[in-house]
A and B are shown apart, each in its own frame.
Chain A
């Protein structure tokens, strides 16, 4: 183990450069900004991931955000274990009927101010599962959505861009309205 640790000291870092803030994300945020909370969050966001019926593709990329390449914590983002600790709910999936109540309860358990980010094509409108008897078709059918990050699944860089957009908008004005 010592050898590996020493090697890590002399190896150049793997970290990817910071991606530019997504334009599409910014446009979507403009609407979200109107109804968001009026409080400075500091320079960090705590994220609670909620799988509301995804195929687990988005979850794989969410996991990738924590690897050495994206190292999401250097931007002040961290994944937390409880909605009670969360500023942001990162929700995936077309929201199945069987998960709708759990999603709603998770949302209600998160303290204000809070934002909901719908992740992936299913999160917008159900994606290729839209129209099924078992899905409601998009996160906004159950909880209000502030930002949508498209992709099937969105790459870690895409997710990072969207979240940075959210964070910067919240911080620059000291409030999100």
Chain B
């Protein structure tokens, strides 16, 4: 029996949690799960709280199974997971800020999302008024001869989202990087509570703008799992079509932008043209450049016309024609390779420990892909590969993107050839009971997790959205160590973590 099913059997199973089980466990089982995580037998998918419960989503990778365990009424605190398993640290700090639940023996009790500037504390728990202004935030120390600090942000020099980086450097070499995030916290989960599904999917689609399709996709899958609603096949395929277009556009943009940060703007110019072609085609076909608000509970908002299919085919042909020369240029330019090969190396063990998704994990030997492992439709009927490399450097993360572009082009071709006919929308039935659902959808950056609980009336009681960046941001700190300050933009861009998706 797998470690995960053993854990679930020990607890009281929650009613109507789909498609994976949820069990309410005792503190001892909770701690044993933390130890399993620390041993590497399970992977942490998410950890979130509400006023009177804390939940943890776990993945048993060899068995491809997922489950949620919950601890109820942790009024006097719950056993910290991060104490045994560091990837939970920022999640537990966030739970503490938002829900007011105390992780016992948490190694780092500094606030994370709460900068002391809201008018209240614990917005998702028993709300409390904020008492004082912001406390000074103490950064971790690095001591030694000749060390100096470089504070950067929250407002950066380029067109980037806000966040603060504190570098400690010895000459040009970075000794320690500490991130401080939370600047773009918008309180999305609190806005979700009490919203209907339409507003819910609107908010989900604005959690991270570059992954608007992935978030809407994950949100509706979670909602439909809770309701038990089967969506028309054409809608299912159109969702995947949009998700692959989004992946294509983002990867093309990233490949160019990474090269630009290595002082090679020619790649940016050419990749930027291809990315723009994708966005313009998406606009012509689906009526929005980023395909925002195109996925709705029950189906999709727009159908694909014959003209649309033809222009998508033309787009694929154009990218197929133009991309090889760019890949060759990347591969054969010594000055560019000099910057990317061996830079920002992330060790495979760390990627596995943190359950890093997307190109960050796949460039460091972790081949997890929600499309491949969970085979949610229509990916169960499509053929594709999940590229994996072991070098873990900037170069490897560029190559994973390049290969994923190839895979997305192939997937888009398959979807366009085999798109089923029929309706694109189904009505949402009335459920008359509280239900819970969960989904894991592969966005361009990695797996996006959405968990929600619906009220009897079908509204949202609680919704948690977990961006893949939660597990990638800490790895950036590790990957940058020992590199020169000037290579930070390059490392950062090759990770391209979301600020908004993380801060919520």
Contacts and interface: CB of A to CB of B under 8 A. Distances in A.
Contact of B183 (A49, A68, A98): A98
Given A51-B161, A128-B199, A128-B202, A60 B272 contact: no
Given A97-B118, A106-B155, A129-B191, A59 B209 contact: yes
B107 interface: no
A57 interface: yes
A49 B159 contact: yes
Contacts of A46: none
Contacts of B395: none
Interface in A45-92: 49-64, 66-69, 79, 81-83
A155 B187 contact: no
Interface in B80-133: 115, 117-120, 123
A155 B292 CA distance: 12
A116 to B, nearest CB: 14
B162 A51 contact: yes
A10 interface: no
Interface of B: 115, 117-120, 123, 154-155, 157-162, 182-188, 190-191, 199, 202-203, 206-210, 212, 253, 266, 269-270, 272-273, 275-276, 279-280, 283, 289-290, 292, 325-326, 329, 333, 498-500
A69 B280 CA distance: 11
Contact of B162 (A60, A79, A99): A99
A9 interface: no
B209 A102 contact: no
Contacts of B158: 49, 79, 81
B186 A94 contact: yes
Contacts, number: 147
A82 B157 contact: yes
A101 B203 CA distance: 25
A54 B500 contact: yes
8 contacts: A53-B500, A56-B161, A60-B210, A66-B272, A67-B272, A98-B115, A99-B183, A133-B120
Contacts of A82: 157
**Tier of interface size on chain A:** 35 or more
Nearest to A101: B117
B208 A55 contact: yes
A1 B283 CA distance: 31
Contacts of A4: 266, 270, 325-326, 329
A55 B253 contact: no
A131 B123 CA distance: 13
A123 interface: no
A133 B118 contact: yes
Interface of A: 1, 3-5, 14, 49-64, 66-69, 79, 81-83, 93-94, 96-102, 106, 127-129, 131-135, 152-153, 155
A36 B110 CA distance: 44
Nearest to A64: B276
A56 B210 contact: yes
Contacts of B292: 57, 152
Closest 4 CB pairs of A and B: A57-B209, A134-B187, A132-B187, A67-B272
Given A55-B208, A98-B183, A99-B184, 16 more contacts: A3-B325, A4-B270, A53-B184, A55-B209, A64-B279, A68-B273, A79-B159, A94-B186, A98-B115, A102-B162, A128-B191, A129-B187, A129-B206, A134-B118, A134-B186, A134-B187
Contacts of A128: 191, 199, 202-203, 206
Given A67-B276, A81-B158, A152-B292, A57 B206 contact: yes
B202 A55 contact: no
B261 to A, nearest CB: 13
Nearest to B159: A49
B148 to A, nearest CB: 21
A67 B159 CA distance: 14
A67 B283 CA distance: 17
Contacts of B187: 129, 132-135
B263 to A, nearest CB: 14
Contact of B273 (A1, A58, A67, A101): A67
A98 B206 CA distance: 18
A110 B179 CA distance: 26
Contacts of A60: 209-210, 253, 290
Given A82-B157, A102-B155, A152-B292, A57 B210 contact: yes
A150 B203 CA distance: 18
A102 B289 CA distance: 30
A101 B276 CA distance: 34
Nearest to B185: A134
B155 A98 contact: no
Contacts of A152: 206, 292
Contacts of B499: 56
Contacts of A132: 186-188, 190-191
Contacts of B118: 97, 133-134
Contacts of B333: 1
Contact of A96 (B186, B209, B272): B186
Contact of B290 (A14, A68, A81, A153): A153
Contacts of A94: 186
B123 A54 contact: no
Contacts of B183: 53, 96, 98-99, 102
Contacts of B184: 51, 53-54, 93, 96, 98-99
A146 to B, nearest CB: 20
A3 to B, nearest CB: 7
Contacts of B210: 56-57, 60
A90 B123 CA distance: 30
A128 B253 CA distance: 27
Nearest to B121: A133
A96 to B, nearest CB: 6
A57 B249 CA distance: 13
B182 A54 contact: no
Contacts of A102: 154-155, 162, 183
B205 to A, nearest CB: 9
Given A51-B184, A57-B212, A106-B155, A69 B276 contact: yes
